[in-house]
Amino acid sequence: MAQLLPGKRIFVTGASRGLGRAFCACFAAHGADVAFNFASDSDGAAETMRLVRQHGVRALSFQVSVLDDAGLCRTALELENAWGGVDILVNNAGVSQPLPLALMEEADWDKVLDINAKGQFLATRAFIRGMIRRRSGAILNLGSLAGVRLLEAPIHYSASKAAVKGFSEALCKEVARYNIRVNCLAPGLLEEGLAANLPDYRLKEYLKHVSLHRTGTLQEVAACAAFLISDRNSYMNGATIVMDGGL
């Protein structure tokens, strides 16, 4: 199979496990150099590094929060010095909590909105400056089916992912003049993540309405993302791609 991302330099946020790790491994398999950040899981980050390096590409990891503005700017500068910059940013870092609104504290709301929405803003601002100077780039923001459809999901999570969709659409208009594309990928329930925390009866009810009658895999979403950020997808901009198995 021809590689989709040969020679591309990619930064993925939140990649010490789960979907972020799957992104890194998939992009490396397609020929990209991959850098990523993680907040605290150094063992998980080491495993992601191993998966990337086994494909013979360059790999770098940075322990920095997506809410650390100065730290993200330092990371972007380090990558400018080490690799000459980043071609592609994948804003993956995100969290959720299974809380009803009546039991939600203000701190719960702030945590989810900060990481899921503000984190994408801060990471994008840190890396887009280099893309603007080079007049080239691609950004993929991770949304969710919960941000685009009427679903029973945590309120703060749905609100944060709806913000990601709006952020992506507005940003694509702002930076298209610099030959930078911005898209949003909105998966449904996957084998890991929210699905793992759902009671069995809730998961079965959800899957009854999915035409494929199963959750998605991390590898399926990563493969889709690899195409979306590749040069072969050069005319898609400002789109939100729903990947839900046919709900």
**Mean predicted lDDT score pLDDT of the chain:** 96
Full-model pTM: 0.96
| Other Cβ atoms within 10 Å of 211 Cβ, number | 9
Q: Is the pLDDT of residue 177 over 80?
A: yes
At 194, the pLDDT band (50, 70, 90 cuts) reads confident
Q: What is the pLDDT of residues 217-232, one digit of tens each?
A: 999 999 999 999 999 9
Q: Where along the chain do its domains lie?
A: 9-242
Select from 243, 17, 4, 245 the least CA-distant residue to 138.
4
Q: Is the pLDDT of residue 1 over 90?
A: no
CATH number of 9-242: 3.40.50.720
The rounded distance, in Å, linking the Cα atoms of 92 and 205 is: 27
| Span 168-178, average pLDDT | 98
- Tracing tokens 């946020």 back to the chain, one arrives at 13
- Written in H, E and C, the secondary structure of 79-135 is HHHHHCCCCEEEECCCCCCCCCHHHCCHHHHHHHHHHHHHHHHHHHHHHHHHHHHHC
Tokens representing 210 are: 């999915």
Q: What is the pLDDT of residues 50-101, one digit of tens each?
A: 999 999 999 999 999 999 999 999 999 999 999 999 999 999 999 999 899 9
Q: What is the pLDDT of residues 112-163, one digit of tens each?
A: 999 999 999 999 999 999 999 999 999 999 999 999 998 888 999 999 999 9
**pLDDT given for residue 198 in this prediction:** 75
The rounded distance, in Å, linking the Cα atoms of 10 and 112 is: 25
Q: What is the pLDDT of residues 6-54, one digit of tens each?
A: 999 999 999 999 999 999 999 999 999 999 999 999 999 999 999 999 9
The rounded distance, in Å, linking the Cα atoms of 172 and 48 is: 30
What percentage of the chain exceeds 90 in pLDDT? Answer: 90
Q: Is the pLDDT of residue 197 over 80?
A: no
Instruction: Phi first, then psi: give them for residue 126, nearest 5 degrees.
Output: -65, -40
99 φ/ψ sector (left φ>0, alpha ψ -120 to 50, else beta): beta
- Active site members: 157
Select from 141, 143, 227, 139 the least CA-distant residue to 175.
139
What percentage of the chain exceeds 70 in pLDDT? Answer: 99
- CA distances in angstroms from 193 to 4, 55, 72, 80, 82, listed in the order given: 27, 26, 25, 33, 33
Burial of 40 (0-12, 13-18, 19+ CB in 10 A): exposed
